[in-house]
Amino acid sequence: MLSASTLIKNIATLTLALSLPLTAIAHERYILPSHTVLSGEEAQSVSFIASISNAIFHGDKPLGDNGKGVVPQKLAPLFKRLKAVVISPDGVSREMSWQAFSRFSVADTQLQQSGTYRIALVQGDVPMTTFIKADGKKGRFFGNKGKVPSGATNVVKRTTASRVETYVSFNDPNNTALLPTAKGLELSGETHPTDLFVDEALRFQLTYLGKPLHKATKVKVVQGATRHRNQRDEAIIATDAQGKFSLTLSQAGFYLLSANIDVKGKAGSGIDIHHHSLYATLEVFPQ
């Protein structure tokens, strides 16, 4: 599996047509909301932080920009592919404005309607080709313009896509914004993602293209503040054949839930594997 860091590096290399020194770019991604549950008669605001970072909920690299921020050259091609959206409780999708700073991106949103909002940074399919070179070393390139060197074997045409999101409820939560957009891998299920409490069974389901994921996969759940623990304490949960999984958490806090799938491309589509990843930030409250 190729990491997002590799992806970023390679997009950058392709775009700049330069061979830059490969620096490590961490590859977990998240959006951290100031609040996930709000109440009141007047409109409320929520602020968000988004980052590419292995230190969960501590920023490392920004994720997303509106053209006014500080964008590292290497991340610019990735940011161009990101769609920043907020889906309102009535199901209407609007564009969101993120601004990049050195270590994270920041955004604000106003909540007028009561109900649940879904805030997402979505990266559509990025084409990528991987192969084994004649000398046995791994090779790859991004985009459609690269050339597979002669003598290369195991040539695989791929796409990679990702969705990074979180959920906020103003007054009474509803489910409209949570309905699958039917693009890539998404989170769904019985439990409302802004109604999470410790010691209660949380039941979710992964969907792919808007339908239950008919494929057993693994979901990773990690509590924030990994920087302040010696162990990451990641829980790996297997889904059933409908993409369903459940978990019970014993500590309140923000959690990052993530999942990845590889889907075989349709015959004749020219793509062998479609890779999709999902990162969802959840807030869990004490009893």
Partner 1 sequence: MKIHLSVLAILACTCLLLVSPNSFAQQISVEITIPKIKVQPYHKPYVAVWIETRKRQGVHTLAFWHEQKDWFKDVRQWWRKIGRQQKPAYDQVTGATRKPGTYTIKISSKELTALNLSPGEYFLNVEAVREEGGREFIRQKITLGASEIKQYEKSGKHELGKVTISVTP
Contact call for residue 232 and partner 1 (CB under 8 A): yes
Contact call for residue 273 and partner 1 (CB under 8 A): no
**How many CB atoms within 10 Å of residue 118?**
24
**Stretch near partner 1 under the rule CB under 8 A, chosen from 21-29, 121-129, 144-152, 202-210:** 21-29
| In the complex, minimum distance from the CB of residue 3 to partner 1, in angstroms, rounded to a whole number | 6
For the CA atoms of 193, 49, 9, 278, the dihedral, rounded to the nearest 10 degrees, stands at: 0
The token pair that represents 260 in the structure block: 């990845």
CA dist 136 and 53 (Å) reads 32
Write the single-letter amino acid at 116. T
For every residue of 17-39, DSSP letters joined together read TS----------EEEEES-SEE-
Cα dihedral sign for 87, 218, 29, 2? Answer: negative
Closer residue to partner 1 in complex, CB, 80/218: 218
**Stretch near partner 1 under the rule CB under 8 A, chosen from 11-19, 20-28, 206-214, 268-276:** 20-28
CA dist 37 and 283 (Å) reads 9
Contact call for residue 1 and partner 1 (CB under 8 A): yes
Quick one: which of 23, 150, 250, 287 contacts partner 1 (CB under 8 A)?
23
Contact call for residue 102 and partner 1 (CB under 8 A): no
Quick one: which of 13, 15, 44, 54 contacts partner 1 (CB under 8 A)?
54
Could you list the residues that contact partner 1 (CB under 8 A)?
Answer: 1, 3, 23-24, 26-27, 54, 230-232
